[in-house]
Structure 1
Amino acid sequence: MTVLSIVLQVLLGLGFLMFGLIKFGLKQMVDGFKHYGYPGWFRVFTGLVEVISAALVIAGIWNETLAAWGGLFIVATMIGAIFTHIKIKDTVKSMMMPIILLILGLIVLLINFGSLL
């Protein structure tokens, strides 16, 4: 386990915990998902996936397999977020956070990928 991986996992874990929890009821998230054309259950599902991803990458500090799975979930979630921004014809500036999180999730996945084999 490298220091880089630990730092990324802590940052991603705390960030995704926060991002996931606010999806459960923050008015901005409710309005945002309506704007994107998604039903309310999908917002809750997305929040749950983000909380699980957070738990996996944080637990992955002690278990590389969990870190790899958490990184994979983050990558998949951010691909979905980027496609959502493309679907609504959002600006590239609006896509920067999902792009950065995709890259960081991919780094965590690649650092810990060997544990999946």
Structure 2
Amino acid sequence: MNYLIIALQCIVSFSLLNVWLIQNKKPTQWRGGNATTIIEEFQEYGLPKWMCYFVGTLKVLLAIGLFVAIWVPQLQRPFALGLGALLVGSILMHLKIKDPLKKSLPAFLFLMMCLVIAYF
């Protein structure tokens, strides 16, 4: 089970870092509304630009923390639950603008992974 949790920590951490640090200015099929960048996505949700930077900073720090938690296990639950809370927010934003459920799928899958990390 330990190796499964470590694998999930790596998947969640690297995926979120990829989204926020590498793919942030590229269009994907998962972006909310008709957005092509993360900043446009937050605008689609009716959120201010500063909120994008705030949420992005939190997600990057929590993703790094979740990776570090491989070696410092007591950090595992708080970082996984922190990311989980932000992922619930992502899902709610997709629902707010009536996106197809498909667009919430990555956030939902990462939320489920975070819950497994936090509680197993």
- Fold equivalence (TM over 0.5): yes
Alignment of 1:1-117 (within 5 A): 2-22=2-22, 26=25, 28-111=37-120
Q: Distance in 1 between matches of 2:76 and 2:16?
A: 13
Distance change (3 Å), C-alpha of 1:22 and 1:80: farther
Q: Distance in 2 between matches of 1:102 and 1:55?
A: 16
Asked whether the 8 Å contact 1:19–1:47 carries over to 2, the reply is no
Report the number of matched residues: 110
Give the drift of 1:47: 0.7
Asked whether the 8 Å contact 1:17–1:51 carries over to 2, the reply is yes
Q: How much is the aligned-residue C-alpha RMSD, in angstroms?
A: 1.7
Give the drift of 1:54: 0.9
Q: Distance in 1 between matches of 2:18 and 2:102?
A: 21
TM-score, with normalisation over the residues of structure 1?
0.86
Q: Distance in 2 between matches of 1:45 and 1:22?
A: 17
Runs of 4+ in 1 over 6 A off after TM superposition: none
Q: Distance in 2 between matches of 1:87 and 1:16?
A: 22
Distance change (3 Å), C-alpha of 1:78 and 1:66: same
Unaligned runs of 5+ in 1: 112-117
Give the drift of 1:42: 0.5
Unaligned runs of 5+ in 2: 26-35
TM-score, with normalisation over the residues of structure 2?
0.84
Give the drift of 1:43: 0.3
Asked whether the 8 Å contact 1:75–1:105 carries over to 2, the reply is yes
